[in-house]
Amino acid sequence: MSPQATWILFSSHITLILLSTAWAATNQTTNTDRQALLCIKSQLSQSNRTGALATWSNGSPDFCQWQGVSCSRRHGPDPGRVAALDLEGEGLVGQIPPCISNLTYLARIHLPFNQLSGPVPPELGLLGSLSYVNLSSNALGGVIPAELASCSGLQVIVLKNNSFNGGIPAALLSSSLMQVFDLRGNNLSGPIPHLLPNSSNLNVLGLTGNRLSGTVPNSIYNLSLLTYLGLGNNGLVGKLPATMGNTLPSIQKIMMSRVMLFQNHRLEAGDWTFLSSLTNCTQLVMLNLRGNNLQGDLPSSVANLSRNLEYLILGSNKITGTIPSGKLYNLFVLNLSKNSGIIPAELNGCKRLMALNLSSNTLNEVGTLINLGSLNISNNNISGKIPSTLGSCVFLQGLRLCGNFLEGRIPTSLASLQEGIFANATSRLSLQGNPRALRNARHRNLVKVITACSTYDPLGNEFKALILEYMANGTLEDHLHTHRYGYLSLSARISIAVDIASILEYLHIWSIPPLVHCDLKPSNILFDDCNTARVGDFGLAQFLHGFYSSGGHPNSTSLIGARGSLGYIAPEYGMGSKISPEGDVYSYGIVLLEILTGKRPTDKMFKDHFNLHNYVKSALPHIDEIMDPALSQEIVGNHSHTEAQNHHNNSEARSCIFQLLNLALLCSEESPKDRPGIQDICSELVEVKEYFLS
């Protein structure tokens, strides 16, 4: 054999050895990932047998194709390494196993809305590539492992809505690349750690709803990129620094509204100079300082805040004086309740103002606010006549005047409002003009009666009928269970829930005498041309006579002859109990559960003692198991521009659904005494709607 041939043979042999070695190394590393995934599967169970973990099997050759698993880019024969676990809402049960740290290239862990429990394994700190962790809305507990700070590339950590205790790891909060740090809704205690200078990338800091104490570190106010700051509902004390706005030019609340949350603390304003510095926050849309120890006159600088400001909430403080006039033309909501002061005429310049709460102040006048949808000036010292200009508020749906000293006649321009608005006013009022105008006032969410007719059938029996306004867009039953009218978005479902509740409030509270519907169900809820929900079919409705009986409670009529619809009728009616508003509340709760789950209470799956109420109650807090699939698709498919925005968008929508489901469960409690009143229901629904739409 020639030397040249020998050399070629030798080179080929060496190449073959190197390729074999490389293949063996690659096979070993990928096998490590496979075994790590199978280890994770062995330590967890899944309520859904056809869920993601069902695809994790040795029989499937490529683990990169397993559901919920994403791999890094492949290079040649390398099949890639596991880079992400996305198992949101998969019904995972158990503890996160330490063997997850064997996925050495893992960069993203996304496991929210499951049933994970126990501590977070400190071994996560061994994952050098980890940049994103979202374990929100589980049942995790224990302390947050300080070892996570070893993940030098960590940018997003979301652990909200769990049961973590102990303190906040200072090194983790001060990670140099950290952008989103969200620990809301836990049991964390102790002070907020001081941030190191290298924490300048932080733009979301959510610590609301813990048991934190002490003062707010000044280092937080030096985070120039901070867009969301949530510190509400803790035990923080101290003064707001005069220069806090100078270094927070970008403050906003992503995907909800731009906001600074300091509500329900004992923070003090000092000399109010902090408000002047907030004029530098040109993107500020919501400022919520409710329930603190702010006192004294509101400074004129409040009127020079961002022209984008839509929500100004300063209620339950010790504020006095007047409301400064200025350029807050874009305000939607102004809440200065439980303070004291007067209304300036310049407030009329707030053309977009839809909700004004000035209750429990010492006001002595009412401004001219023609664009309001809600006005609460109850429990003040307002006296004299009601200005007729209030009748120009064509969008006014809620007006609270009780606890004042009004007198004279009610202007006819207010006849279109709910007649019960004035029922509790500490006043001497009578109707100006034709009393029938107010007596015939109707709620906008009731189907209008056009006329009545009577005739006789061929057998000589009298036939009577009501002619109702035509509802062009079908019923709630159609929208939920057919595809004829398209998909109901979460926003639409929240609005429908508010509309139905407002009807019940009108019937139970403002109608004289009160009226119980007795047959509330989706087929009796209709939609007009504007897709506004209207309630119809009062064929079973009953008046509650004796509204002004002793004790202030209406005397319920007998249930004789009354019927309801299977699945929606209150259980006490089946035992002969009298008709009451609580019966409608029960029906409302079932309807609300159906709106959110897409399941009828008469579904075949419900039998014996297993019903829609128990179905939802047993699943919470894991809403993905019971949420209408169409809603799930909306939330999952609603991607934002950035990962940080996306996690806020999804989680805030889920929080609204979770709150609504809990409200529906309260309404549908078996015992009437355990159900909330309709006014409490309406208040909570309005909060949910404002929170979602803002």
Residue 231, pLDDT > 70, answer yes
pLDDT digits (tens, 9 = 90+) for 409-431: 556 555 545 444 444 343 444 33
Is the per-residue pLDDT at 439 higher than 50?
no
pLDDT band for position 98 (50/70/90)? very high
Cα 529 from Cα 606, distance rounded (Å): 35
Least confident of 214-228, 314-328, 464-478, 678-692: 314-328
Q: Which residues of 515-539 are buried (b: 16+ CB within 10 A; e: fewer)?
A: bbbbbbbbebbbbbeeeebbbbbbe
Give residue 537's region: left, alpha or beta (phi > 0; psi -120 to 50).
left
pLDDT at 484: 78
Contact between 292 and 267 (Cβ < 8 Å): yes
Q: Which of 189-198, 199-208, 559-568 has the lowest mean pLDDT?
A: 559-568
**Closest by alpha carbon to 594, among 493, 491, 450?**
493
Question: What is the pLDDT, as a whole number, of residue 548?
Answer: 35
Reference 620, options 652, 567, 686, 665; nearest CA is 665
Asked if 604 contacts 589 with a C-beta cutoff of 8 angstroms, the reply is: no
What is the CB neighbour count within 10 angstroms for residue 505? Answer: 22
Torsion of CA 341, 347, 353, 355, to 10 degrees: 20
Alpha carbon distance 283, 308 (integer Å): 6
Q: What is the mean pLDDT of residues 385-392?
A: 64
Mean pLDDT of the region 269-291: 70
The beta-strand segments (E) located in 122-214 are 132-134, 139-143, 156-158, 163-165, 180-182, 189-190, 204-206, 211-214
Minimum mean pLDDT range among 193-207, 263-277, 616-630, 669-683? 263-277
Higher-confidence residue of 305 and 544: namely 305
Cβ neighbours for 223, distance < 8 A, ≥ 6 positions apart: 195, 199, 200, 202, 203, 205, 247, 248
- Decide: 499 and 482 in contact? Cβ < 8 Å: no
Selection from 246, 247, 287 nearest residue 267 by Cα: 287
Structural domains in the chain, sorted by start: 215-363 (3.80.10.10), 472-693 (1.10.510.10)
**Region of residue 440 (left: phi > 0; alpha: psi -120 to 50; beta: else):** alpha
Cα–Cα distance, 197 to 377 (Å, whole number): 47
Which range among 113-127, 242-256, 377-391 shows the weakest confidence by mean pLDDT? 242-256
Number of H helices, E strands in the chain: 11, 35
Q: Is the preceding omega at residue 324 within 30 degrees of 0, hence cis?
A: no
Q: Give the pLDDT of residue 429.
A: 43
State in Å, rounded, how far the first CA of the chain is from the last one. 84
How far apart are the C-alpha atoms of 282 and 333, rounded to whole Å?
A: 18
Of 453-457, 549-553, 556-560, 570-574, the range with the lowest mean pLDDT is 549-553
Six token digits for residue 487: 């998909």
Give residue 311's pLDDT: 72
Of 22-36, 69-83, 592-606, 624-638, give the lowest mean pLDDT range: 22-36
User: DSSP states of 239-292 as a string?
Assistant: E--TTTTTT-TT---TTT--EEE--SSEEE-TTSHHHHHGGG-TT--EEE-TTS
Sign of the alpha-carbon dihedral angle for 42, 48, 50, 52: negative
Q: For residues 641 and 572, which has the higher predicted lDDT (pLDDT)?
A: 572
Please report how the helices 581-597 and 612-619 are oriented relative to each other, as an axis angle in degrees rounded to 10: 60
Provide the pLDDT confidence category of residue 184 given band limits of 50, 70 and 90. confident
618 has pLDDT over 60: yes
Q: Please tell me the predicted confidence (pLDDT) of residue 87.
A: 92
SS3 180: strand
Non-local CB neighbours of 30 within 8 Å, separated by 6+ positions: 63, 78, 79, 80, 81
What would the two tokens of residue 216 be? 């707010």
Percentage of residues of the chain with pLDDT beyond 90: 18
For 467-516, the pLDDT digits (tens) are 666 666 788 888 888 877 778 888 889 988 988 888 888 787 776 677 78
- Among the listed ranges 30-39, 461-470, 596-605, which one has the minimum average pLDDT value? 461-470
Q: Which helix (H) or strand (E) element contains residue 623?
A: none
The backbone torsions φ and ψ at residue 610, rounded to the nearest 5 degrees and listed phi first, read -95, 115
123 has a pLDDT exceeding 90: yes
Answer yes or no: are the C-beta atoms of 250 and 280 closer than 8 Å: no
Residue 161 has pLDDT above 70, yes or no: yes
For 594-609, what is the mean pLDDT?
88
Q: State mean pLDDT over 672-684.
A: 87
What is the structure's pLDDT at 594?
A: 93
User: What is the pLDDT confidence band of residue 399, given thresholds at 50, 70 and 90?
Assistant: low
**In the numeric block, which tokens belong to residue 377?**
């000036």
At residue 355, what is the residue type? A
Q: Which residues are 464's β-sheet partners? A: 454
**Among all chains, which residue has been given the structure tokens 């075994």?**
35
| pLDDT above 70 (res 105) | yes
Residue 99 in this model has a pLDDT that exceeds 80: yes
| 515, 442 contact by CB (below 8 A) | no
Per-residue pLDDT at 643 exceeds 90: no
Q: What is the per-residue DSSP string for 428-474?
A: EEEE-S-HHHHHT---TTBPPEEEEEEEE-TTS-EEEEEEEPP-TT-
Cis peptide before 513 (omega within 30 of 0): yes
* Integer Cα distance of 207 and 187 in angstroms: 10
pLDDT at residue 561 tops 70: no
Distance CA(120)–CA(139), nearest Å, equals 11
Answer whether 265's CB lies under 8 Å from 234's CB.
yes
Closest CA to 675 of 563, 546, 580: 580
- Helix 678-693 to helix 581-597 angle (10° resolution) is 30
Question: What is residue 368's DSSP assignment?
Answer: -
pLDDT bin (cut points 50, 70, 90) of residue 210 is confident
Strands, E, within 308-371: which ranges?
Answer: 311-313, 318-320, 333-335, 355-357
- What pTM did the predictor assign? 0.55
CA distance 563 to 579: 10
